[in-house]
Chain A
Amino acid sequence: MGLDKNGIAQRIAQELQNGFYVNLGIGIPTLVANYIPIGIDVEFQSENGMLGMGPFPFEGEESADLINAGKQTITALPGAVFFDSATSFAMIRGQHVHLTVLGAMEVSDQGDIANWKIPGYMVKGMGGAMDLVASAKNIIVAMMHTNKKGESKLLRQCTLPLTGTKCVTKVVTDLAVLEITPKGFLLLERAPGVSVEQIKNATEGRLIIEGDVPEMKL
């Protein structure tokens, strides 16, 4: 039932537009790079200081001087450029990056996001997430619709410490594509084989259903 992580990434890849500079977070968002539609040219920004990030290097060609924001060894594509951290976040805060895709633990129906801290657990830090969500114009959250206990991650109000407020534009989950509107989560598409009823049951926040909700095309 519903999409797997690759399916979520594949659906998000349909949001890419020609000429976009894109920042992908760690986890499901990283997989989006595997599904760039044919005929669409985009460039990936890594906030540790690079544009034009390519795939993992071939064995033996990896370098400590060439990593992504997840600290994984990567490669540079032709046209790539390196820069320092302050310049990198100037690109982010200055809204030069067109699309940010990141994971989340919770999203509220007003577009608040919580993805960095769970009280009672070791806190590792927010990294660049707060800067990204505070400034980006177009933020898509990639996540599962419910947590491991089966509880909804699409809420009326976030319960975990926030990363940013009123910032998420869209959520793509294993069950649905939803847009954040002033009245709540507007259901845009259903995952293949998933009913509106199932999405309703898995969504705690306000859900808006207008007419027939189409199935995603993957």
Chain B
Amino acid sequence: MALNKVVANAEEAIRGIEDNMTVMFGGFGLSGIPENSIVALRKNGAKGLTCISNNAGVDGFGLGVLLETRQVKKMISSYVGENEEFERQMLSGELEVDLIPQGTLAERCRAAGAGIPAFYTPAGYGTEVALGKEVRWFNGKPHLLEQAFDASFAFVKAWKGDTAGNLVYKGTSRNFNHAMSMAGKVTVAEVEELVEVGELDPNEIHTPGIFIQRIYKGERFEKRIEQRTVRKKEA
């Protein structure tokens, strides 16, 4: 018998969330963000959250909705533009922000899920990112010691998932979702299509269900586009 990770809805999926927890959110820009779990967290009202997410959403969508309600104490991201409320809170000192290189962010997630407590990377050497970090030379090049994250929850989003938590992503929405799914002590996956075990081709699953503790079908996916760039069809 395959394990069954299915929960009824987003409210049930976020059960156990508490004030001051460290929480991960998959997505790059607005692509592949766990929209439904974010809405449920807003309703839940948990405060003082440290959020690990490559970006911080936009005003009124994505993590922007948790910034509006001041539920976020600290953001750990690589890039945080395009969000006026974020900017206001950062400049006023209400919000702590830790900016780290994108590859280091991804690897600190992967390492957390892979049982690697720390690793050396060349990214950031000689910059302010290196302040206070151990430097070690390998193959004639300096590297910084970076530590794995420690997150109570990871919220990820996939295109399809089965009841055992196996996930398939679409296009570039995979981004941070895979590494973060490995990293959460409790990983919650929301999917557009939830299917029975056996319906996904095992050869084409991106994230094995072992990394997922809870899965549910999202009630509503807006899938907003941040920068719509198109070309005209030639006549």
Contact = CB atoms under 8 A, between A and B. Distances in A.
A62 interface: yes
| Secondary structure of the A contact surface, majority rule | loop
Nearest to B182: A86
Contact of B230 (A62, A65, A129, A161): A62
Interface string B102-116: 111111011000000
Interface string A103-139: 0000000001000000000111111111100110000
B123 A131 contact: yes
Contacts of A89: 102-103, 106-107
A134 B128 contact: no
A218 to B, nearest CB: 24
Interface string B90-105: 1100000001011111
| Range, interface on chain A | 35 or more
A119 B133 CA distance: 22
Given A126-B101, A128-B103, A72 B229 contact: yes
A49 B175 contact: yes
B121 interface: yes
| Range, interface on chain B | 35 or more
Contacts of B124: 130, 134
Which of B77, B177, B230, B232 neighbours the largest number of chain A CB atoms within 10 Å of its CB? Answer: B230
B29 A67 contact: yes
A164 B104 contact: no
A162 B131 CA distance: 13
Contacts of A84: 106, 174-179, 206
Interface in A84-114: 84-86, 88-89, 92-93, 112
Nearest to A64: B223
A199 interface: no
Contacts of B176: 84-85
B29 A71 contact: yes
Given A49-B175, A128-B101, A131-B103, A122 B87 contact: yes
Contacts of A71: 28-31, 226-227
Contacts of A92: 103
Interface in A159-183: 161-165
A177 B99 CA distance: 33
Given A64-B225, A65-B223, A134 B81 contact: no
Contact of A48 (B31, B127, B206, B229): B31
B48 interface: no
A43 to B, nearest CB: 15
Interface stretch (A52-60, A140-148, A201-209): A52-60
B22 interface: no
Contact of B81 (A46, A66, A124): A124
Given A58-B233, A124-B79, A127-B102, A135 B171 contact: no
Interface string A55-84: 111111111111111111110100000111
A62 B177 CA distance: 21
Contact of A86 (B79, B91, B106): B106
Contact of B99 (A50, A59, A126): A126
Given A62-B230, A82-B171, A85-B54, A131 B178 contact: no
Contact of B102 (A73, A131, A163): A131
Contacts of A48: 28-29, 31, 172, 175
A189 interface: no
A137 B74 CA distance: 35
14 contacts: A46-B172, A56-B231, A68-B172, A84-B106, A84-B174, A84-B176, A88-B103, A92-B103, A93-B122, A125-B81, A128-B102, A131-B104, A134-B121, A165-B125
Given A67-B29, A86-B106, A126-B102, 13 more contacts: A59-B231, A59-B232, A64-B223, A67-B28, A67-B227, A70-B227, A71-B227, A124-B81, A127-B101, A135-B122, A162-B126, A164-B125, A164-B126
Interface of A: 46-50, 55-74, 76, 82-86, 88-89, 92-93, 112, 122-131, 134-135, 161-165
Q: For the complex of A and B, list the 10 residue pairs with the smallest distance between their C-beta atoms, beginning with the closest.
A: A89-B103, A131-B103, A165-B126, A84-B178, A65-B171, A125-B79, A71-B29, A130-B101, A64-B223, A85-B106
